[in-house]
Structure 1
Amino acid sequence: MRILVADDHDLVRETIAAFLEKEQRVIVTQVATLDQALAEINKAGTFDLALLDYTMPGMNGLSGFERVMAANGGNPVALISGTANKDVAEKALKLGAAGFLPKTMSAKSMVNAVRFMAMGEIYAPLDFMTAEEEINATSNLTPREIQVLKGLCDGKANKEIARDNDLQEVTIKLHVKNLCRKLGARNRTHAAMIGRDRQLI
C-alpha cells in the first residue's frame, strides 16, 4: 500500500510516517506542501491513500484538498489537522473526503483509521464530530435547567433541589435527564463536572 503524507510540520509528518511504516507492505512518501503533493502524484502515480494537512502551504482551505482529490484518480484522500473544527471536517466529508483525522489521535487509532480508509471506508472520530454539538447545546439550557445544574454542582439530591426550587421531585428527574442529553453527560455527576468545566453556573 502506497500512502502520501503531506504536512509542513516535520515532526508530525515523520511521526505519522514512522507509525505507518511499521505496518507490513506500507510505503510512505512524505512531502511538506500542496505543490509537492501534486508533483509527487504526477511523478509517481496515484496513491492508495493521501493524507493532507489542512493548514500546510498551498492548501487555501479546502480548494487544495479538491485539487489532490482530482489528481489522485478517485483513490481516497483524507484531511489531517490539529486546528480545523467540526464544520471543516463536515465540509471535507461532503466533498468526498475519505475521512478526517485530528492530530490528537493516538498512533494506534491513526493506523487503524488509515487501514479503514484504504479499504474504501469513511472515517471520522465520533467524539470529535459530536464534541461541538455538546458545547453548542449548553447555550440551549433553560433558566430552570441552570438552577437544577447548580444543585447538581452543589452535590444536592433531587429531593433537595426540588425543595429549593419549589418543584416536584419527578420534575427534577426530568430536568436531570434533559441536562444529561443536552450536555452529552453519562450521568448526573458527569453533568455536574461538565457544568463546572464550562462555567455554566
Structure 2
Amino acid sequence: MGKVLLADDHDLVRETIAAYLRQTGLHEVHPVEGLNAAQDALRAESFDLVLLDYRMPGMEAFDGLRLIRRAFPDVPVALISGAASPEVARQAMGFGASGFLPKTLAPDELIRAVDRLVAGGTFLPDEAVARMSFSLTPREVEVVRGIAAGYSNKEIARELGVQEVTVKLHVKTLSRKLEARNRTHAAMRARDLGLV
C-alpha cells in the first residue's frame, strides 16, 4: 500500500483525485491545500509519493518542484496539471520529477500511473514521450553526439561532410530546443534525455 501526499489548491480537484486513488484501497492519500502544507506534512511523516499541482502558488518555473526535491531527495515527486504541454512535462522530468500526470487522465489510467510511481517507476503521458523522442532532427542528434564526444564544430563538420557554419546553426537550434546555456550543457541535457 502506498502513502501518497497530494497537494492541490483547488478543493474539488484535490478531493476528486484523492477519491479516485482511495477507491482501489491500494493507496492511503493525504490531501493538502498547497506547497507549504505539503512541506509541513513531509517534515511530519514519510510518504511513498508526492503529487504536486503544477499551477498552484509557489510552483512558478518549477520552484516548488525543485524545493521539494532538494529538501526531501528520497521521496519521488510527480506533477499533476490540467493544461500543460509535452514540453512542460519534459522540463519537469529534467528538474527531477518522477512523473507528469495530466488531470485529463481517465481514473483507471491515473491509478495505474500512481501505482507505477509508488513502485519506484516513472510516468509520462504518451504524447509527451513522443515529443521528447522526436524534438531533435536526426542531424541535430548527430551534432549533439559529436559535442558529447568532445569534438569541435570544425571536427563535427568534417565528420558529417558539411560546412562549419552549418554545424554552428545546428548547435544553436538544438541548444534552444534542449534549453541549454551552451554546447556543453546541450550535451549534458541530451545525455539526460537518452539522446546520446
State TM-score, norm by structure 1. Answer: 0.61
List aligned pairs for 1:20-35, cutoff 5 A.
20-35=21-36
Pair 1:126–1:25, CA change in 2 (3 A):
closer
2:74 corresponds to which residue? 74
Structure 2 residue 16 is matched with structure 1 residue 15:
yes
Would the aligned equivalents of 1:21 and 1:27 in 2 still touch at CA under 8 Å?
Answer: yes
List aligned pairs for 1:50-199, cutoff 5 A.
50-130=50-130
User: Using the alignment, how far apart are the partners of 1:90 and 1:118 within structure 2?
Assistant: 20
Q: Which amino acid aligns with 1:82?
A: G
Structure 2: give runs of 5+ residues left out of the alignment: 135-196
Q: Which amino acid aligns with 2:124?
A: A
Shift of 1:72: 3.0
1:184 corresponds to which residue? none
Structure 1: give runs of 5+ residues left out of the alignment: 135-201
Shift of 1:46: 2.6
Shift of 1:129: 4.0
Q: Which amino acid aligns with 1:34?
A: L
User: Using the alignment, how far apart are the partners of 1:47 and 1:71 within structure 2?
Assistant: 14
User: Using the alignment, how far apart are the partners of 1:75 and 1:39 within structure 2?
Assistant: 14
SS of the aligned residue for 2:70 comes to helix
Pair 1:112–1:25, CA change in 2 (3 A):
closer
User: Using the alignment, how far apart are the partners of 1:73 and 1:128 within structure 2?
Assistant: 24
SS of the aligned residue for 1:114 comes to helix
1:14-42: CA deviations, max 9, x gaps? 11100111122421111121111111111
User: Using the alignment, how far apart are the partners of 2:103 and 2:132 within structure 1?
Assistant: 17
Would the aligned equivalents of 2:4 and 2:50 in 1 still touch at CA under 8 Å?
Answer: yes
SS of the aligned residue for 2:60 comes to coil
SS of the aligned residue for 1:28 comes to strand
Deviant stretches of 4+, over 4 Å: 131-134
SS of the aligned residue for 2:31 comes to strand
Shift of 1:104: 0.7
1:86-114: CA deviations, max 9, x gaps? 22211111122111001111010000000
What is the aligned length? Answer: 136
Q: Which amino acid aligns with 1:64?
A: G
Shift of 1:77: 0.4
SS of the aligned residue for 1:61 comes to helix
Would the aligned equivalents of 1:116 and 1:122 in 2 still touch at CA under 8 Å?
Answer: yes
* Identical residues among aligned pairs (%): 41
Q: Which has the larger radius of gyration?
A: 1
1:153 corresponds to which residue? none
SS of the aligned residue for 1:84 comes to coil
Would the aligned equivalents of 1:101 and 1:125 in 2 still touch at CA under 8 Å?
Answer: yes
Shift of 1:64: 0.6
State TM-score, norm by structure 2. Answer: 0.63
1:22-73: CA deviations, max 9, x gaps? 1224211111211111111112x23100000011112122111111122334
